[in-house]
Amino acid sequence: VHSSFTTNLFLSYMSTHPELYKQLKDSPENVAVMSGYEKALSGQTIHWVPKEEIPAKGFSWIKGGDIIAITTTISGLDVSHVGIAIYVKDELHLLHASLSKGKVTVEEVPLSQQLNKNKNMSGVRVLRMRKK
């Protein structure tokens, strides 16, 4: 939304790892469609925030309810997880479907700490729904 950091998308992960996705696993047709989407999006410039730049308190421009897309260092993949921004005691946390807990939860530690615990998490993209 307001980040000055940019990067270019280079997407290929889903079409090169179809065995990981139920809808792609046994469908060369779906893999071809996905590959087309990846090629169409690759090269686009997007805004993001590296994890080293995210303070525990978040940023004033990140509002509760914003969509937080966690970016990844995995080659060919841009986002590895998605959640919703929520502030707890003035610190930015993530409301998300936790794989380890098996349910939707608010992460106990601030988002900055959560990102620093995982070497494959490189930062975030922040998205906000707009009213028409």
Q: Looking at the domain assignment, is residue 42 inside a domain? A: yes
CATH number at residue 64: 2.30.260.10
Within 10 angstroms of residue 114's Cβ, the number of other Cβ atoms is: 21
Residue 34 counted as domain residue = yes
Give me the number of domains the chain comprises: 1
| Percent of the chain with pLDDT strictly greater than 90 | 92
Which pLDDT tens digit goes with each residue over 49-108? 999 999 999 999 999 999 999 999 999 999 999 999 999 999 999 999 998 899 999 999
Q: Are 125 and 83 in contact (CB under 8 A)?
A: no
Q: Is the pTM of this model over 0.75?
A: yes
Domain assignment of residue 52, given as a range = 5-127
Q: Does residue 119 sit within a domain?
A: yes
69, part of any domain:
yes
d(CA 132, CA 112): 32
Q: Is residue 94 included in any domain, yes or no?
A: yes
Judge whether residue 1 has pLDDT over 70.
Answer: no
- Bridge-partner residues for 76, per DSSP? none
Residue 132 lies in a domain: no
Q: What pLDDT score was predicted for residue 3?
A: 82
Q: What is the mean pLDDT of the chain?
A: 95
Mean pLDDT of 35-47: 97
Q: Does residue 115 fall inside a structural domain? A: yes
What pLDDT is recorded for position 132?
A: 82
| pLDDT classification of 19: cutoffs 50, 70, 90 | very high
